[in-house]
Chains A and B, each alone.
Chain A
Amino acid sequence: MKFRLPDSLSSPQDLTDLLFEIKEYAKWKSHNDILRRAGSKRTSKPPEISKTASEVLNDWSKIKSIDNEGIQELVNTLNTISIKSPQINITLAGPAPGDLKKKLIGWFRDNINPDILITFDFNKTILGGMILRSGSKIFDWSFKKYIMASREKLIEEINSV
């Protein structure tokens, strides 16, 4: 089974936050294991981690054990993803709701790349559709673009009225 980022994690910033949380968790776990091995009764509370982080840890536990080495391997994997995975930016006509974000991220990870990282923007003037940008490449599938491209047709339609 291959590790896959959860659809709730989309952007490089999310991944950075996730890495921070995992590292904090790894630190806590290492410290806690030392105390346990020393027979200390004093244990510390685990750090509060986000739902995404717990989901990642849960997924990772299905592949590898959640010990120090396993967590370190998870950190390495996440670091590799943050460096090597493709990143795209999606501009929508409004702030993307969570379910739409998940739907879009799922589609991209299913169809394009399972480690793809996506940032979302919004611009009201595009009216609808989306604009995808990957590096210097832009795919404008917005309504505005369609309307502007269909200007002649629109004028013909207006003239025929």
Chain B
Amino acid sequence: MDNIYLQIFLLIDVFIAGIIITIAFRHAYVHFFPNKNDTVSKKPTREKIPSAHLPASVREHLLEVSQAKFDAVVEKSASELQHDLNGIINQLNKRVENLGQEIVNSEIKRYQTDIEQLRKQAEANLTAAQADIDKHQTEIKAKYAEQQAELEKKYAKRQVDLESQITLKQAELEKQLEDTIKTKEEIIIKNIDTRLGDAVISFLNETLQHNVDLGAQSDYLISMLNEHKDEFKKGLKNEI
């Protein structure tokens, strides 16, 4: 915002200086390059001046003197004007320079103030942030410690549970293994016994079936029939 006002002010100054320079330039131009028409036009005016009471030579002399004085006055005025213009220009330059310097100084000062303020603000923010960070860190540390303690507690409990479960499972597995081994042992022993029995029976079968003597068995068969007589009668009766 301040920059805009400063620019407007400088533009106005430049405009005024332009006007003054233009006026000075016009005066200087008219002074150093006078228009002939102006002289001619002045001459009739001078000629119109009533000079009935003065001789021509005097009048001529007066005119020359007047012309000389007028030229001197104009020169003097031009010189003074030029001098004044130079002074004004110098003053304006100085003024503009001072103004610029002041503006620059004020801006620098303002910038410095702003920077200082910003620095302080930043420092304050940093301090606050650091404090917040410290506080947050402390909180996090506290929470972390709390959570760690809780986790350690849980871990310890879990470990105890796991150890207990492992122990139980181990005992159970050992028992299962023992049972399985025992069962398998029994099965194997039974299988061995069965196969041994089968082998013996097979042996007996192979051996005896070639040596069957039914004549020798007749008494045995009759005694067996007598033994099972009632059973057979009963069965036969049911069948009939």
Q: Does any Cβ of A come within 8 Å of B40's Cβ?
A: no
Q: Across the two chains, which residue of chain B brings its CB closest to A159?
A: B193
Name B189-207 residues within 8 Å CB distance of A.
193-194, 196-197, 200-201, 204-205
B212 touches A93 (CB 8 A): yes
Bound together, the chains give a CA A92 to CA B220 distance in angstroms of 12
- Residues on A lying within 8 angstroms of B by beta carbon are 86, 88, 92-97, 99-100, 103-104, 107-108, 111-113, 124-125, 127-130, 132, 134-137, 139, 141, 143-144, 147-148, 151, 154-155, 158-159
Known: A108-B225, A129-B220. 9 other contacts (CB 8 A): A86-B236, A86-B240, A93-B217, A99-B218, A100-B221, A111-B226, A112-B232, A128-B208, A144-B201
Nearest-neighbor residue (CB-CB) of A155 within chain B = B193
Chain B positions 75-130 with a Cβ under 8 Å from a chain A Cβ: none
A132 touches B200 (CB 8 A): no
**How far does the Cβ of B175 sit from chain A's closest Cβ, in whole Å?**
28
Considering the complex of A and B, which 5 residue pairs feature the smallest CB-CB distances, nearest first? A124-B209, A155-B193, A93-B212, A94-B212, A135-B239
- Given A99, A107, A124, which contacts B212 in the complex, CB threshold below 8 Å? A124
Q: How far is the CB of A93 from chain B (nearest CB, A)?
A: 4
| CB neighbours of A97 from chain B (8 A) | 214-215
User: Residue among B196, B212, B222, B228 with the most chain A CB within 10 A?
Assistant: B212
B53 close to A (CB within 8 Å): no
- The number of residue pairs between A and B whose CB atoms lie closer than 8 Å in the complex comes to 95
Q: In this assembly, does B231 line the interface, its C-beta being within 8 Å of a C-beta of chain A?
A: yes
**Are B201 and A148 closer than 8 Å at their CB atoms?**
yes
| Set of chain A residues within 8 Å of B52, measured between Cβ atoms | none
B177-199 contacts to A (CB < 8 Å): 193-194, 196-197
B231 & A139 in contact (Cβ 8 Å cutoff) = yes
Q: Is the CB of B214 within 8 A of A94?
A: yes
Q: List, in ascending order, chain A residues with CB within 8 A of B143's CB.
A: none
A124: chain B residues at CB < 8 Å are: 209, 212
Residue of A nearest to B238 (CB): A137
Residue of A nearest to B224 (CB): A141
Q: Once the chains bind, are B215 and A100 in contact (CB under 8 Å)?
A: yes
Measured CA separation A1–B218 after assembly (Å) = 30
Residues of A within 8 A of B226 (CB): 111
Is the beta-carbon distance between B208 and A143 smaller than 8 angstroms? Answer: yes
Check A134/B196 contact, CB under 8 A, given A93-B214, A103-B222.
Answer: no
- A119: shortest Cβ distance to chain B, in Å? 15
The answer to whether A137 and B212 have CB atoms under 8 Å apart is: no
Q: Does B229 contact A (CB under 8 A)?
A: yes
Check A92/B214 contact, CB under 8 A, given A104-B221, A139-B235, A151-B201.
Answer: yes
CA distance A95 to B226 in the complex (A): 22
**Contact sample, A vs B, 5 pairs, CB 8 Å cutoff:** A88-B236, A103-B222, A112-B229, A132-B232, A143-B208
Decide if A130 touches B235 in the complex (CB within 8 Å): no
Q: What's the Cα separation between A129 and B212 when bound, in Å? A: 10
**CB of B50, distance to nearest CB on chain A (Å):** 183
Q: How far apart sit A4 and B215, CA to CA, in the bound complex (Å)?
A: 26
Contacts of A130 in B (CB 8 A): 221, 224
Supposing A137-B236, A139-B232 touch, asked if A144 and B205 sit within 8 A by C-beta, the answer is: yes
Q: Does B233 contact A (CB under 8 A)?
A: yes
Q: If A125-B209, A128-B212 touch, does A154 touch B236 (CB 8 Å cutoff)?
A: no
Least CB separation from A138: chain B residue: B235
CB distance A111 to B229 under 8 Å? yes
Q: How far is the CA of A129 from the CA of B225 in the complex (A)?
A: 10
